[in-house]
Structure 1
């Protein structure tokens, strides 16, 4: 093996990297310095102009901000006013509804009270009518039961009396002219009567004023015995004059005229038909 000989290789000379970097850095530095110089020349002019521009724009911005703030405040105030108005309207509506409900309740209560009063009045009237009808029916029944006894009683044995004269005759004439008229509770003529209405009208015909109801009429004059009756005397039925429930006019000869009940009307009857409890004389 032949010995190797190292021979030096020929190389081209190279530019030092250090030198190249220095040149690049120098160029960059020159560019930066130039730029700074230009900027430095123009810089003072810009610096002097900028404050003038800022000083001119600030009042405009401030005025715009003030206007915006005023508008915002006004909008807030308007919103508050609108909200308050809405609340006031809702409150007024609520009060109106409550007032209407209260008025309706009061009207309903008044109507119910009126209806109750009317119903009570109707019931009272019906009860009064029923009580009077029962009283009359009881009186008639008692009269029918005692008819046989009344025929033999002393009350009938002294029925003869002198013929009526003067006012008594006129009273009887008036009473007889009403024979056949209807009986109506509370009737005072001219075509319908109740018992005391007929008696009152007959005596008023001759100028004698009598009370309206049976009890007062039975107590209006002088009480007389049933043994001493005279034409024109007022006969009454009841436990006492003040509590009399029926009256009629004695016509003489054991008869009387009276508005008896709805089934008979104004009739003339014998005393035996219904013996009276007493008699009173007003003429």
Structure 2
């Protein structure tokens, strides 16, 4: 026996080969299991990571698409609203243009009517001047005096002015005497005496002598009384030229087929036969 046999050896006891093999196998199996588990765990762990990375990308795309769709819808609505506003403005403009056209046509018609009336007045004035020149020329050859104070005679009248004076009485005589006293005075548009008159100014002033107030213009004077026939005239009746309510000239019938009127600036206030310038109608105020 060795002298050291009683001393415990510091070496670990040897293990048998079979024990080592079993342990190695177990260890290898454990390691394989761990490796498989690790690989499986790695695979399983990788999949959520992949899904986690992809989901935000898909969500962002969907959000972008939704935002684009909302923008497109909003833009379409804005376009529709703008088109509606344009259509409304166009309809309003068309309506206003139609109203303006109607107003323009109305004004054009009024202007045309006024121009025609002025043309008729001018034509009547020219005809009056022409007839007067013709009458004066004829009178110069016969020595007849026209437009006097009632003491002479008129070749066209067929009666003397003194005869027509004798038919007027009362207020009518006052009017007749007044207008005859104005014969020879000037014609001035807008004048009402005492040195000049226009046609309606002479008539208005004549009736004022008997305290009868007449309208100022010929249009109104032509409807101031009762309409009478030209075949049934009496001294003091108002004669008018044109239509009732739109007459362009007036005068006073003094009897015997004669009238006194402020004709125009060339003749002034004159006494003439009805045939000189036949009136359209007459009204009776007295």
Which bracket does the TM-score occupy, shorter chain normalised?
0.5 to 0.7
**Displacement of 1:125:** 0.8
The number of equivalent residue pairs is: 239
Partners of 2:31 and 2:175 in 1: CA distance: 152
Question: Who is 1:155 aligned against?
Answer: 159
Could you tell me whether the CA contact under 8 Å between 1:161 and 1:253 is conserved in 2? no
Partner of 2:262: helix, strand, or coil?
A: strand
> Residues 270 and 195 from structure 1, CA distance in 2 versus in 1: closer, same or farther, beyond 3 angstroms?
closer
Q: What is the root-mean-square deviation of aligned Cα atoms in Å? A: 5.1
Q: Which runs of 5+ in 1 are unaligned?
A: 1-37
TM-score (normalised: structure 2): 0.57
- What is the TM-score with the length of structure 1 in the denominator? 0.57
Matching of residues 1-283 of structure 1 within 5 Å: 42-142=31-131, 144-145=133-134, 148=138, 150-151=154-155, 153-156=157-160, 158-161=163-166, 168-169=173-174, 179-180=185-186, 182-183=188-189, 194-196=198-200, 198-204=202-208, 206-208=210-212, 213=219, 216=223, 220=227, 233-234=236-237, 236=239, 246-249=249-252, 257-265=260-268, 267=269, 269-271=270-272, 282-283=285-286
CA distance in 2, matches of 1:166, 1:242: 25
Does the residue aligned with 2:119 lie in a helix, a strand or coil? helix
Q: Which runs of 5+ in 2 are unaligned?
A: 1-26, 140-153
Mapped partners of 1:239, 1:53: distance in 2 = 119
1:173 deviates by 5.2
Distance across 2 between alignment mates of 1:72 and 1:86:
21
User: Alpha-carbon deviations, 1:148-207, whole Å to 9, x = none?
Assistant: 584274322624539976685478658968943513xxx585898653454245325534
Describe the shift of the 1:119–1:100 C-alpha distance in structure 2 as closer, same or farther (beyond 3 A). same
User: Are the counterparts in 1 of residues 193 and 205 from structure 2 also a CA contact under 8 Å?
Assistant: no
